[in-house]
Amino acid sequence: MSRRPKPKYDDKFRASAIVMLQAAGYPENQYKLEEVARNLKVPGRTLRRWFNGTSNPPPDDIVRQGKRELTTIFEDVARRYLEHILRIDIMDETSSRDAIIVAATAIDKLQLLEGKATERVELLTPEERVTRIAELFDAARTRRDRQTTGDQPTRLPA
């Protein structure tokens, strides 16, 4: 029984795979590695090694070029769909919701390619959380007092 020869992947293919991983949100989202590997029909382990630079990584200049090309595509998609949203004669044909989803997705992918955050997560210590909740309750009491007393806030007992 003969073994199949190992596939050969050129620099451009490996670079494109790395860019696809980044656009998908890897390494923050570990599940994206297997998803991209499946789509490209490349073993996940191979893809991980290319990404980490431990086995035959693509040249950095080709990866940067691939990122620039994909960034240009996403910028163009986002710009076109945002322009589409603003055209009154087109709004009847495509829902604004769909156009916004496409534009937002393109912008999200741009953020990932540029290494920027796509969400904002604020971590607070338990003490900071209690302080913040107390501030919110105080602000709510103040607003309620202003509404009921005609802009003369009075403090309720805590």
Give the model confidence (pLDDT) of 46-78 as tens digits.
Answer: 999 999 999 888 889 988 898 888 888 888 887
Tokens for 10, please give them: 């050129």
Peptide bond into 27 cis (omega under 30): yes
pTM of the full structure: 0.55
What is the tens place of the pLDDT at every residue in 10-60?
A: 999 999 999 999 888 888 888 999 999 999 999 999 999 999 999 888 889
- Domain extents for the chain? 11-113, 122-158
What is the tens place of the pLDDT at every residue in 86-131?
A: 666 665 676 767 777 877 887 888 888 777 777 767 777 888 888 8
Q: Is 24:35 a contact under the CB 8 Å cutoff?
A: yes
